């Protein structure tokens, strides 16, 4: 429906857009609540765009192509230099001046942020452009916490997660190492918690470290880290699947994975931001609203010297990306979820 | 550069967006060679550059002291032909290059780090308090001291007498920063999980363009104040501390004092330009340029240095 309305509104038809089977209601509502794109004055210049993608799998190609197509109708003087080689090179390219816009496939890594800061003397400016998906591979699916099906626990808050998976406790006060520490009674009370996670210096784990461990790299040393494994038939035993399977085998296990890998022997927990917050499951709606705390966020980064606003073609393009038209394209051409109206407005604050 | 940019000017051109992505074009002129490096390595490389320019009139060799991480970014964006850095490239840096060019950059060891000069890839030493009787330590014992889930006492490391029953207080540089990353890779197989309830980390000073010149001193000071400390330190012993020789194996490059040596690497395209190749050959053959003197860096051992021309 959104797709039809938008195409009619801009009167351009919908080039190359694969039809979406059904836009889930929370997604459609979020997009409908966004403001229309109001083109600014005609601009000229080049947007050098580096970021998420690869020579083998062009995750973002279809979406970026559509953004460029539609934006070009409003701003024919703006050219694109498309260099989506992958997130790993995006901030480096921005730091050395090879690009003026980086679109990452995940949150920025501390190393990348340091690189930029060392080069420029200030941090890169983040503009959030999408929410990660609920369960779509390559589109930054949400982290979910699983326990064994036999475990009576139903919910956790971020501070409890920090106390379970962390060892430094920057935002909380101490360790949680037994199920009794979480209030479980009887035979559960003295049993140790066994955490399972990705190797703790990988991209996935970096997100958890920033969001849950308050930036600490000191994970609970009892954490079982899974590493890439090839099955006898040559296929990859995916890390998320390994974690789920380990928790299904281990009644004392707790793992960070995603519903896409879930099996009968595990259950996902409802999560809240803090003790007084609402405990919610991961759904499209709770990811878009950000009520679910372990939602991934897709950022763009620009080089904005302190005290200045982002101007010119890059600002105008980002204004388009954050509009109803830009987010409609995002929903139709990628696995990401749209921003909600509040976050989209917040993201526009640095744009002149 | 302009030829590689596609102009969104007509719908017909749009389909090229997601097609095979061209690699970045080289930013420099044909007669210009750019070497990105650190402030500490730059004086060594400038001598090599002068010699190369002397041998090849018309060639302009620029040495850019931008720091290791920026040097690698310069390399994969083709703003530099060579990155010479005082450490091995990180996995994300290798991946950044590889996802652009579809092959990884080539790494050539070109120099050894300093014995103990801060900021110049100093060797890593095991330091204990001067009062500690321990005589030597193995990698396995370090693993136990820093990573074992159970409390570790000095007797577990072979110490007898009054010290034996005291707990070990392990100290390392911030495990996420330069020396700490090297230590994790060299001694702990890249591990990130340590016994954080007893391991203390000391962070590198953080300000723009900084080097870890205060780190070794901070670590040594902590050891001097704690009789039960066991620290892995970039640099040498100071008053109140004592180095303990590490029992190194064939995979761990240690010097005769039992300190772990570090290596300076050059990264470039696996098939470097002829002038880049000449630069690397001159760099390892310090005898022709005197490039090392008076820097604290050291030439590679003869055998290792002789391998480079063959690999190039």
Nearest to B196 by CA among B226, B216, B171, B228: B171
Residues of chain A contacting B24 with CB distance shorter than 8 Å: 83, 98
Quote the distance between the C-alpha of residue A78 and its chain's center.
28
How close B63 comes to chain A (CA, Å)?
A: 15
- Both B269 and B235 in a single domain? no
In this predicted model, which residue has the larger pLDDT, A24 or B29? B29
Nearest to B267 by CA among B53, B110, B38: B110
The predicted-structure confidence for A283-328, as pLDDT tens digits, reads as follows 999 999 999 999 999 999 999 999 998 989 999 999 999 999 999 9
Is the pLDDT at B9 greater than 50, yes or no? Answer: no
Is the pLDDT at B7 greater than 70, yes or no? Answer: no
CATH number of the domain bearing residue B220: 3.40.190.10
pLDDT at residue number A1? 40
**Domain A2-134+297-350 and domain A144-281 have a common topology:** yes
Q: Between the CA of residue B167 and those of B98, B230, B247, what are the distances in Å?
A: 46, 10, 22
Is the pLDDT at B16 greater than 90, yes or no? Answer: no
Percent of chain A with pLDDT over 70: 93
- Both B283 and B175 in a single domain? no
Whether B10 contacts chain A with CB within 8 A: no
The predicted-structure confidence for B237-261, as pLDDT tens digits, reads as follows 999 999 999 998 777 878 888 999 9
Is the pLDDT at B17 greater than 70, yes or no? Answer: no
**Element containing residue A78 per DSSP (H, E):** strand A78-83
pLDDT at residue number B295? 85
Task: State the best of B1, B17, B144, B146 to mutate against chain A, taking most chain A CBs within 10 Å.
Answer: B17
How close B234 comes to chain A (CA, Å)?
A: 21
The predicted-structure confidence for B223-238, as pLDDT tens digits, reads as follows 999 999 999 999 889 9
| Total domain count, chain B | 2
Show me where the domains of chain A are located: 2-134+297-350, 144-281
Cβ atoms of B285 and B305 closer than 8 Å: yes
Structure token digits, residue A25 = 């209601």
- Both B81 and B130 in a single domain? no
Residues of chain B contacting A76 with CB distance shorter than 8 Å: 9
Is the pLDDT at B86 greater than 80, yes or no? Answer: yes
The predicted-structure confidence for A237-261, as pLDDT tens digits, reads as follows 999 999 999 999 999 999 999 999 9
- Both B129 and B180 in a single domain? yes
Residues of chain A contacting B92 with CB distance shorter than 8 Å: 88, 109, 111-112
- Both B69 and B128 in a single domain? no
> pLDDT class for A13, splitting at 50, 70, 90?
very low
Supply φ then ψ for residue A313, to 5 degrees: -60, -40
Identify the domain boundary among B220, B247, B274. Answer: B247
- Both B194 and B107 in a single domain? no
- Both B131 and B224 in a single domain? yes
How confident is the model over A267-287, as a mean pLDDT? 95
Task: State the best of A85, A99, A165, A313 to mutate against chain B, taking most chain B CBs within 10 Å.
Answer: A85
Residues B8, A68: C-beta atoms closer than 8 Å: yes
- CB pairs below 8 Å between A and B: how many? 132
- Both B300 and B219 in a single domain? no
Residues of chain B contacting A93 with CB distance shorter than 8 Å: 73, 77
- Radius of gyration over alpha carbons of chain A, in Å? 21
- With respect to residue B69, please indicate whether it lies within any of the assigned structural domains: yes
> pLDDT class for B213, splitting at 50, 70, 90?
low
Question: Sign of the C-alpha dihedral, residues A281, A282, A286, A291?
Answer: positive
- Both B191 and B232 in a single domain? yes
The predicted-structure confidence for A190-240, as pLDDT tens digits, reads as follows 999 999 999 988 888 899 999 999 999 999 999 999 988 999 999 999 999
- Both B181 and B219 in a single domain? yes
Structure token digits, residue B22 = 């061209």
B253: buried, middle or exposed (CB in 10 Å: 19+, 13-18, 0-12)? middle
Domain assignment of residue B148, given as a range = 124-247
The predicted-structure confidence for A82-107, as pLDDT tens digits, reads as follows 999 999 999 999 999 999 999 999 89
- With respect to residue B257, please indicate whether it lies within any of the assigned structural domains: no
How many whole angstroms separate alpha carbon B268 and alpha carbon B75?
A: 7
- With respect to residue B15, please indicate whether it lies within any of the assigned structural domains: no
Is the pLDDT at B15 greater than 50, yes or no? Answer: no
> pLDDT class for A6, splitting at 50, 70, 90?
very low
Whether B147 contacts chain A with CB within 8 A: yes
**CATH 3.30.70.1140 assigned to A144-281:** no
**pLDDT, chain B, mean:** 88
- With respect to residue B199, please indicate whether it lies within any of the assigned structural domains: yes
Percent of chain B with pLDDT over 90: 70
- E strand spans, chain B: 32-37, 60-65, 82-85, 106-112, 124-129, 137-138, 169-173, 200-202, 229-234, 241-244, 246-247, 263-268
Residues of chain B contacting A61 with CB distance shorter than 8 Å: 17-18
Chain B from 96 to 135: CB within 8 A of any A CB:
96-97, 99-100, 102
How confident is the model over B113-140, as a mean pLDDT? 93
Task: State the best of B5, B18, B174 to mutate against chain A, taking most chain A CBs within 10 Å.
Answer: B18
- Both B233 and B293 in a single domain? no
Quote the distance between the C-alpha of residue A8 and its chain's center.
31
Fold for the domain defined by A2-134+297-350: D-Maltodextrin-Binding Protein; domain 2 (3.40.190)
Sort strands B32-37 and B60-65 into parallel, antiparallel or unpaired.
Answer: parallel
| Lateral strand order in the sheet of A78-83 | A78-83, A45-51, A101-103, A297-302, A125-131
Chain B: residue whose CA lies nearest to A215: B176
Cβ atoms of B182 and B122 closer than 8 Å: no
Chain B: residue whose CA lies nearest to A203: B92
- With respect to residue B36, please indicate whether it lies within any of the assigned structural domains: yes
Task: State the best of A55, A228, A333 to mutate against chain B, taking most chain B CBs within 10 Å.
Answer: A55
pTM of the shown model: 0.88
Which of B77, B194, B195 lies at the smallest CB-CB distance from A92?
Answer: B77
Three-state secondary structure call for residue A283: coil
Residues of chain B contacting A80 with CB distance shorter than 8 Å: 6, 8, 17
- Both B179 and B243 in a single domain? yes
């Amino acid at each position: 429906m959104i797709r039809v309305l938008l195409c009619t509104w801009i009167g351009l038809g919908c080039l190359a857009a694969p039809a979406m089977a059904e836009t889930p209601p929370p997604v459609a509502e979020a997009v409908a609540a966004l403001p229309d794109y109001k083109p600014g004055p005609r601009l000229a210049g080049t947007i050098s765009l580096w970021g998420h993608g690869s020579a083998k799998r062009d995750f973002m190609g279809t979406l970026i192509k559509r953004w460029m197509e539609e934006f070009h109708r409003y701003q024919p003087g703006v050219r694109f230099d498309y260099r989506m080689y992958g997130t790993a090179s995006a901030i480096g390219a921005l730091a050395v001046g090879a690009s003026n816009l980086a679109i990452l496939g995940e949150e920025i890594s501390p190393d990348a942020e340091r690189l930029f800061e060392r080069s420029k003397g200030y941090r890169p400016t983040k503009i959030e452009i999408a929410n990660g998906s609920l369960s779509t591979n390559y589109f930054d699916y949400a982290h979910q916490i699983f326990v064994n099906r036999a475990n009576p626990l139903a919910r956790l808050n971020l501070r409890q997660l920090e106390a379970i998976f962390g060892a430094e406790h920057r935002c909380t006060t101490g360790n949680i190492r037994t199920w009794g520490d979480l209030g479980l009674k009887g035979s559960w009370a003295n049993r140790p918690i066994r955490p399972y996670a990705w190797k703790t210096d990988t991209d996935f784990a970096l997100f958890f470290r920033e969001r849950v461990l308050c930036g600490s790299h000191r994970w609970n040393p009892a954490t079982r880290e899974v590493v890439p494994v090839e099955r006898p038939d040559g296929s990859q035993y995916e890390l998320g699947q390994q974690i789920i399977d380990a928790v299904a085998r281990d009644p004392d296990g707790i793992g960070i994975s995603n519903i896409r890998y879930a099996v009968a022997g595990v259950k996902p927990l409802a999560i809240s931001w803090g003790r007084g917050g609402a405990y919610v499951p991961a759904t499209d709606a709770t990811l878009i609203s950000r009520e679910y705390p372990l939602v991934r966020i897709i950022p763009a980064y620009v080089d904005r010297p302190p005290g200045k606003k982002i101007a010119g073609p890059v600002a105008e393009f980002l204004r388009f990306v954050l509009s109803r038209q830009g987010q409609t394209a995002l929903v139709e051409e990628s696995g990401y979820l749209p921003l909600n109206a509040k976050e989209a407005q917040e993201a526009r604050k640095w744009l002149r | 550069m302009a030829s590689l940019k596609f102009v969104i000017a007509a719908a017909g051109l749009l389909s090229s967006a997601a097609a095979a992505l061209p690699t970045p074009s080289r930013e420099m002129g044909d007669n210009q060679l750019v070497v990105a490096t650190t402030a500490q390595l730059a004086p060594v490389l400038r001598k090599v550059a002068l010699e190369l320019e002397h041998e090849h009139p018309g060639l302009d060799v620029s040495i850019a002291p931008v720091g290791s991480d920026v040097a690698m970014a310069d390399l994969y964006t083709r703003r530099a032909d060579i990155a010479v850095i005082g450490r091995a490239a990180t996995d994300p840096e290798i991946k950044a290059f590889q996802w652009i060019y579809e092959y990884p950059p080539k790494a050539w060891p070109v120099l050894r780090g300093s014995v103990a000069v801060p900021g110049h890839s100093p060797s890593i030493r095991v330091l204990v308090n001067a009062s500690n009787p321990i005589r030597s330590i193995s990698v396995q014992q370090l693993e136990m001291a820093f990573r074992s889930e159970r409390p570790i006492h000095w007797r577990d490391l072979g110490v007898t007498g009054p010290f034996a029953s005291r707990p070990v207080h392990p100290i390392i540089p911030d495990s996420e920063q330069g020396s700490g990353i090297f230590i994790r890779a060299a001694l702990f197989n890249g591990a990130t999980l340590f016994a954080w309830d007893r391991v203390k980390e000391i962070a590198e000073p953080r300000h723009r363009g900084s080097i870890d010149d205060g780190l070794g001193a901070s670590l040594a000071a902590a050891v001097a104040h704690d009789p039960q400390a066991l620290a892995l330190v970039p640099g040498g012993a100071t008053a109140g501390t004592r180095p303990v020789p590490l029992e190194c194996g064939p995979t761990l490059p240690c010097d005769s004092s039992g300190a772990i040596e570090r290596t300076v690497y050059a990264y470039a395209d696996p098939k470097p330009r002829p002038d880049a190749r000449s630069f690397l050959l001159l760099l390892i053959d310090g005898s022709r340029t005197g490039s090392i003197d008076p820097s604290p860096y050291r030439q590679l051992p003869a055998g290792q240095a002789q391998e480079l021309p063959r690999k190039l």
